[in-house]
Amino acid sequence: MSSYQDVRRQAEALSPNEQLRLLEELAVMVRNRMPVKPSHSIMELEGLGKEIWRGFDAQEYVNQERASWNG
């Protein structure tokens, strides 16, 4: 029998309040062991794909798109 099964069987024997407390404590323990992921900013995307638009007039492009909406 595995230790996981032993622990699960013991947890099943706990009252619902004790099970909730155990869950909360386990969640904190696991979160503390997880590596911290660096947060990202939308500003990291600034300039992405700019080479695609090189040589285009932005206002002319917008005007052409708007004109296409009217058929």
For residue 37, pLDDT over 90 is answered with: no
The residue-averaged pLDDT of 33-55 equals: 90
> Is 0.75 topped by the overall pTM?
no
Question: DSSP letters of 43-70?
Answer: GGGTTTTHHHHTT--HHHHHHHHHHHHT
pLDDT at 38 over 90: no
Give me the torsion for CA of 56, 60, 66, 68, rounded to 10°: -70
Average pLDDT taken over every residue of the chain: 92
What DSSP state is assigned to residue 28? H
pLDDT band for position 70 (50/70/90)? confident
Chain position carrying tokens 């009217």? 70
Does residue 50 surpass a pLDDT of 80? yes
Phi-psi group of 44: left, alpha or beta (phi > 0 → left; psi -120 to 50 → alpha; rest → beta): alpha
